[in-house]
Structure 1
Amino acid sequence: MKSEIKGLILTSVIYGIGDILLKAFNFFLLPIYTRLLNPSDYGILAVTGFLSFIMSIFMSLSLHSFLTPLYFSTGNHQERRENIGSLFLLSILVGGVIALSIDQVARPFFSLVIRDVPFDPYIRLTIWTSYLSTWSRIPLLLLRVRERSFAYVLITLSSSLLQTVLSIWFVVYLKRGIEGLLIANLIATSVTSVICLISVSSNMILSLKVKIWKHALIFSLPLIPHELSGWILELSDRAILQWYVSLDQVGIYSLAYSYGSLITLIGYAMNMAWVPFLHKTDSIEGERASERFSYMATYFTVTLCFFGLFLGLAAKPVISLITTALFHDAGGIAPLIVAALLLSNIYYFPVNFIFLRRKTTKVAFATVVSSFTNIILNLWLIPVHGVIAAAWTTFISYGVMTLLTWYFSLKVYPIFYQYRRLMVVFLISAFLWVIGVVYPWNSFWFEIMGKLVLLAAFPALLIIFGFFTEKEKSYLRLALRSYPIFQR
């Protein structure tokens, strides 16, 4: 198991570095954007963001999700290439028809539902960027399935770098504002799709296989309500907020959410390494590997909780440092967003067992219930409490989703999780988070020092409360002794 964990860590680190650099390109542009754009511009960006998300769901029909089981269930290389090409062909044909229909027919609908955001140019640019992004989904997923993490990271980083350069050109030099950002995104997405197709061209052959299309639709269609519900969980708060608060407040909340999303850098990187490993291991060993998976669940959780605690404690000072005073209120909202998205990243571990057994209707049920919880709570609480209510409902809804997913995963793939160790991690994380967020720090530097102490207390409390096993302690001592500073 040590070698397997090392392999997962290495792959996760590669994906993690790539994701960190991806986020960094945009995150470190915040000081520029917050001086050239106003909160209302950020409100428009938030609205086009959730439009892009929901349109991408319908344009892709989640067909790319079928690639992983299709890849591991096909033994013949030639047949596999044809099957992947058939799936890709179905994806781009379906997406093209839907994108064209939205562009030509749905304009009056957008005018009625989306206030203060003109169809031309903002929504039209969003439509075609969303469609072009579907071209790269299967090629990028194919790179992940084939465990070509360096190629995946190189392509995605190049795309983000191109988008960053184009965004600076359009916003800083051409003064095109939000329209410039959307044009930059369209160009970068187009170039990325071409690069992705070239990189995997030898691994797929375009073909029309009705049988593959049928199996792909059976697997993927239940994921449409799942992804729609995921959109509701992730973005409907901003859609509802625009009806009850000003665009300035929507923009501040959006900034807090962007910061909170940094936790997904860790969770998503680990998940990208975990998915192909899980499918490959199960195809060889079946449920005999369940004991190793229980250990991996514990390590998955403790890693996420540590980084979630770090981001939650750092939220207020970081946001106050990199933004103007207009955006400082986001620092009070961001820690709760971090906690909510921590739960959504823990969800990655159990949900993959449900995908492994192709029980996609159970995934859809969990997210649909959670999304209805989110909508009801948002409509009830936002009119009274504003943006802080949206943060709390996000936390509660992701908690419901994670618990339901864990329950269903046990039904389809029984694992004896290490519940005592997991409870120790959760309680310590919550205790330190509450102290760091609630305590009234009197000065900036006192807050920095105090929160560093709280962060350092995390591993110390794990040791005190018996989280580590004797084997893990022995392994850690051996690992530390390999460094000169610990050899005395």
Structure 2
Amino acid sequence: MILYASAIIIQKGISFFLLPLYTSQLIPSEYGTLNIVTGVCSFYGVLATLGMDAAAGRYYIEYKDDNENRKKFIGTVVYFTILVSMLLAVLLLIFGRYLVVPFAEGVPYYPHIIIGIVYILTVPIYSMYQRILLMKENANRYSANLITNFLMQTTLSIIFVVVFKLQSLGVILAMCITGIIFFIISIRSLKVETETIINKTHLITALKYSIPLIPHTLSNWVNTVFDRIILARFYSLVEVGIYNVANQLGMITNVFSAAINQAYVPWLYGKIKDGQNIRINQSINILTGLFSLLGIGIILLTPEILNIMVDESYHEALELIPIFVLAYSYSNLYLAFLNIVMYHVKYAKYIGVVTFSGACLNMVSNLIFIPRYSMYGAALTSLGTKLIVYVVIMILARSSSKIRFDWFKIILFTATLTIIAAVSITIKISLGFRILMCIVTLAGFICVLNKDISALLNFSIFNKFD
């Protein structure tokens, strides 16, 4: 578990760990440019992948003991994904001025967007390879890949930004070069896992699972990128840069929750398959308590984190950070329930409906509130949307499984998080009192979760992660 967690914290935390570098070397407009380019790349990266990485992970478990069908299935999704991503890259290079430029207000088409399009080509296969390593529970290779990727991208970013003064272009170049190298590594490594074939039956199976998840993935993009695009159109890249600093600091909890979740999913799927609902319920209680506690800790220490992490020119982000921490904490909480729904293939299709509906609400709200309230309208829109999706996914998880959730604990943790966030946003509290609040909250959560933690430890649940 420690290897998984450490590696994923590094991967998910790239933007966070590099924030001091970016804010000290890039003026807000350049940082805004970087975020628009990476946002557009992530959108087309979703289309290039078509959710096939999720299908590869899900059916690798299904065919774990069937070597022949496993290789045929993985080979099918790998080579189909390569064809799709290559076709998309060609289309974007030819028609980029019509398919990309309208979403990148104020960003140079050449070289920024061109390099970003090349980067898109590298994303799907690396993502798929990492997903397969995760399902194989190959912690050493999985972690080595993520850490090496991080170190390479960080080193190149420092060289291009600090030494060659390439500003946002330097970071985009670092992403692209790193992506190309790890695309090659992934292709070579996947050869032993695949047959060079696109099997029609397996392709249909994969698409039936992955296509309904695309709206869900695109919804995540809408919820994290669309607001920046609208900000750039109605205001400027300066607002985008400041807004994204607040967003990145608000996402600190996501770095840790992603690490925990990635290591947790293989264990969860095994317990669902074995029908160990009591153990699952205990783990859900612990996750919701832990994710809530993470959010509370970051919210209460926001001023200190801002002063340490970013340049003074970005300090206007201070008032937005607690809103984002609360919003992303809702996203972390919903992960615990989302995993349960995703396991049940019959119900997985509803995930796209829920999250896509939330994304549509987010888009409409952004179009209404950003022109009027700028960054604050965008932040509050994100908060409201994530809360609604969290509640609906909880209900869907209850419908898709026989697990009897402990709603008292779940609501208690969520309500505590929300109340502390509201107090922090509206009232200035001294550092000493904020530290005291952290200690009291931690003690209270431990008391509430004492039986769940003891039960899981007694059954040696975490031995698998050691």
State which of 187, 197, 204 in structure 1 corresponds to 2:187.
197
Distance 1:88 1:73, change over 3 A: same
2:54 aligned with 1:65, yes or no?
yes
* Structure 1 residues 440-451: aligned runs within 5 Å: 440-441=428-429, 447-451=430-434
2:140 aligned with 1:150, yes or no?
yes
Unaligned runs of 5+ in 2: 458-466
Superposed structure 1 runs of 4+ greater than 4 Å apart: 23-26, 469-476
State which of 70, 73, 84 in structure 2 corresponds to 1:83.
73
Shift of 1:439: 2.6
Q: Which residue of 2 aligns with 1:323?
A: 310
User: Residues of 2 paired with 1:262 and 1:182: CA distance?
Assistant: 22
- Partner secondary structure for residue 143 of structure 1: helix
Return the letter of the residue paired with 1:48.
Answer: V
Render the CA deviation track for 1:88-119: whole Å, top value 9, x for unaligned: 11111111111111111232343444321121
- Partner secondary structure for residue 437 of structure 2: helix
Distance 1:149 1:43, change over 3 A: same
Render the CA deviation track for 1:225-266: whole Å, top value 9, x for unaligned: 222222111211111111222321111011111111221112
Q: Which residue of 2 aligns with 1:39?
A: 28
With 273-282 and 143-152 compared, the bigger mean Cα shift is at: 273-282
Return the letter of the residue paired with 1:452.
Answer: I
How many residues were matched structurally?
457
With 346-355 and 22-31 compared, the bigger mean Cα shift is at: 22-31
User: Residues of 1 paired with 2:368 and 2:53: CA distance?
Assistant: 36
State which of 442, 446, 465 in structure 2 corresponds to 1:459.
442
- The answer to whether the 8 A contact 1:313-1:437 is kept is no
Shift of 1:60: 1.0
Among the aligned pairs, what percent are the same residue? 23
With 68-77 and 53-62 compared, the bigger mean Cα shift is at: 68-77
Q: Which residue of 1 aligns with 2:332?
A: 345
State which of 402, 417, 426 in structure 2 corresponds to 1:429.
417
- The answer to whether the 8 A contact 1:424-1:462 is kept is no
Return the letter of the residue paired with 2:230.
Answer: I
- The answer to whether the 8 A contact 1:346-1:402 is kept is yes
- The answer to whether the 8 A contact 1:159-1:191 is kept is no
State which of 338, 354, 361 in structure 2 corresponds to 1:373.
361
Return the letter of the residue paired with 1:461.
Answer: G
Shift of 1:279: 2.3
Distance 1:217 1:468, change over 3 A: closer
- Partner secondary structure for residue 136 of structure 1: helix
- The answer to whether the 8 A contact 2:76-2:203 is kept is yes
2:169 aligned with 1:164, yes or no?
no
Distance 1:426 1:91, change over 3 A: same
User: Residues of 2 paired with 1:250 and 1:398: CA distance?
Assistant: 20
Q: Which residue of 1 aligns with 2:169?
A: 179
User: Residues of 1 paired with 2:15 and 2:220: CA distance?
Assistant: 23
Q: Which residue of 2 aligns with 1:4?
A: none
User: Residues of 2 paired with 1:356 and 1:110: CA distance?
Assistant: 35
- The answer to whether the 8 A contact 1:46-1:251 is kept is yes
Shift of 1:470: 5.4
Distance 1:164 1:416, change over 3 A: same
Return the letter of the residue paired with 2:270.
Answer: K
2:42 aligned with 1:53, yes or no?
yes
RMSD: 2.3
Distance 1:162 1:311, change over 3 A: same
Q: Which residue of 2 aligns with 1:14?
A: 3
- The answer to whether the 8 A contact 1:23-1:262 is kept is no
Q: Which residue of 1 aligns with 2:351?
A: 363
Q: Which residue of 1 aligns with 2:234?
A: 244
Q: Which residue of 1 aligns with 2:463?
A: none
- The answer to whether the 8 A contact 1:72-1:280 is kept is no
Return the letter of the residue paired with 1:93.
Answer: L
Distance 1:66 1:330, change over 3 A: same
User: Residues of 2 paired with 1:455 and 1:218: CA distance?
Assistant: 46
Distance 1:101 1:365, change over 3 A: same
- The answer to whether the 8 A contact 1:316-1:334 is kept is no
- The answer to whether the 8 A contact 1:170-1:176 is kept is yes
User: Residues of 1 paired with 2:358 and 2:15: CA distance?
Assistant: 30
User: Residues of 2 paired with 1:24 and 1:61: CA distance?
Assistant: 25
Point out the structure with max Rg over C-alpha.
1
- The answer to whether the 8 A contact 1:84-1:204 is kept is yes
- Partner secondary structure for residue 301 of structure 2: helix
With 190-199 and 83-92 compared, the bigger mean Cα shift is at: 190-199
Q: Which residue of 1 aligns with 2:204?
A: 214
Unaligned runs of 5+ in 1: 1-10, 442-446, 477-488
Return the letter of the residue paired with 1:304.
Answer: F
Distance 1:354 1:474, change over 3 A: closer
2:363 aligned with 1:354, yes or no?
no
- The answer to whether the 8 A contact 2:160-2:174 is kept is yes
Q: Which residue of 2 aligns with 1:3?
A: none
Shift of 1:23: 5.4
- The answer to whether the 8 A contact 2:285-2:449 is kept is no
- Partner secondary structure for residue 397 of structure 1: helix
User: Residues of 2 paired with 1:209 and 1:383: CA distance?
Assistant: 49
Q: Which residue of 1 aligns with 2:375?
A: 387
Render the CA deviation track for 1:167-219: whole Å, top value 9, x for unaligned: 11111111111111111111111112223334443222322211111111111
- Partner secondary structure for residue 276 of structure 2: helix
Return the letter of the residue paired with 1:27.
Answer: F
- The answer to whether the 8 A contact 1:62-1:223 is kept is yes
Distance 1:416 1:248, change over 3 A: same
